[in-house]
Amino acid sequence: MTVVDQFVRDPDRDDATLGILIGADRNEAVCQIALQSTNRPLAVSSYAALPPQVRALMPTEEDLARVAQEVLDDDAAAGR
């Protein structure tokens, strides 16, 4: 979230950054490193444990995979 806030987010146009840490599996060390600089409120849950009314508001696994692939493809095309 820090990287997004510093390099992507436009404070005049964008609301506060909402972070979602997505992992293929549970890796406590990766989570600790990713979240070590945050002092914002944090909720942790598995997708399956979310109440149905909340799950309905979340993007699907397929949506997230598609967006992630689009970002990777755009970066590759830009030579990054």
pLDDT tens digits, 39-73: 777 766 777 788 899 888 888 878 888 888 888 88
The Cα 74–Cα 80 span in angstroms is 9
| The two structure tokens encoding residue 69 | 């692939």
Residue 77 has pLDDT above 80, yes or no: yes
Task: Say which residues have a Cβ less than 8 Å from residue 49's Cβ, sequence separation at least 6.
Answer: none
- pLDDT for res 21: 67
The Cα 4–Cα 10 span in angstroms is 10
The Cα 55–Cα 34 span in angstroms is 24
Confidence label for 30 from pLDDT (cuts 50, 70 and 90): confident
Question: By C-alpha distance, which of 41, 80, 47 is closest to 63?
Answer: 47
Q: Is 32 helix (H, G, I), strand (E, B) or coil?
A: helix
pLDDT higher for 7 or 52?
52
